[in-house]
């Protein structure tokens, strides 16, 4: 089924299956695809974000389950706290799945990763649909964060949204790109990967 995603500025994308069928003003796409379902979102549509710290956030940090919050807190565990926890493979897999979900909630559609040695982590990334992109051998620098705007690095977006390209984009509840840069990716209201709505703020 073809779906048109439109933001509050009237900019829209027509998505059919995993691909973008068209991009342009909402009125133009509705006229071109009169039988399409229309989803209207608050804020702005943008290409999805690339998180430069995929390795550190998914293979080098443990994301506590909400049920563990009383014992472990809610922030990712690293360093001595991670060593003390010593997660087994099953726990690493569950952590990576939660980490992926938290990335999706920040409009991330791709991660820059070095080698992911743990199979459970590799599987979590593969099943999520996140694209994996290369990064410098020396590492990306900056500070690992689920919000790419908080990393201290230039923010990278997925490739431009063009007809026939993979439908990977995000929606942020801000009035424009300047506000997004100021308020950060925590303003994400929806993330789409390969045409699938993989995150929606409730």
* pLDDT tens digits for range 159-174: 867 788 899 999 999 9
Terminal alpha carbon distance of the chain: 23
> Does the structure show a pLDDT above 80 at 196?
yes
CA–CA separation, 179 and 185 (whole Å): 10
CA–CA separation, 108 and 98 (whole Å): 14
Closest CA to 13 of 192, 156, 201: 192
- pLDDT average, residue stretch 88-104: 94
> Does the structure show a pLDDT above 90 at 53?
yes
In sequence order, what are the residues at sequence separation of 6 or more whose Cβ sits closer than 8 angstroms to the Cβ of residue 81?
A: 72
Residues 101 and 123 in one domain: yes
Q: Show which of 150, 166, 192 is a domain's final residue.
A: 150
Residues 141 and 123 in one domain: yes
Number of independent structural domains in the chain:
2
Residues 143 and 166 in one domain: no
- pLDDT average, residue stretch 26-41: 97
Instruction: Give the domain CATH number at 20.
Output: 2.30.40.10
H or E element in which residue 85 lies: helix 79-85
Residues 71 and 132 in one domain: yes
Confidence of residue 104 (pLDDT cuts 50, 70, 90): very high
């Amino acid at each position: 089924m073809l779906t048109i995603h439109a933001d509050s500025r009237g900019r829209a994308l027509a998505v059919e299956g995993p691909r973008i069928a068209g991009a342009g003003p909402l009125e133009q796409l509705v006229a071109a695809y009169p039988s399409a379902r229309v989803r209207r979102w608050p804020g702005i549509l943008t290409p999805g974000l690339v998180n430069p710290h995929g390795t550190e956030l998914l293979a080098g940090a443990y994301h506590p389950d909400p049920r563990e919050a009383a014992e472990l807190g809610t922030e990712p565990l690293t360093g001595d706290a991670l060593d003390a926890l010593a997660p087994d493979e099953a726990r690493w897999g569950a952590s990576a799945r939660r980490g992926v979900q938290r990335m999706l909630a920040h409009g991330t559609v791709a991660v820059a990763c070095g080698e992911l040695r743990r199979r459970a982590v590799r599987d979590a990334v593969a099943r999520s649909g996140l694209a994996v992109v290369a990064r410098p051998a020396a590492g990306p620098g900056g500070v690992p964060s689920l919000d790419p705007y908080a990393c201290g690095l230039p923010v990278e977006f997925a490739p431009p949204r063009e007809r026939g390209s993979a439908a990977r984009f995000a929606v942020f509840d801000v009035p424009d790109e300047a506000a997004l840069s100021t308020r950060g990716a925590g303003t994400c209201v929806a993330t789409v990967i390969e045409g699938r709505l993989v995150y929606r703020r409730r």
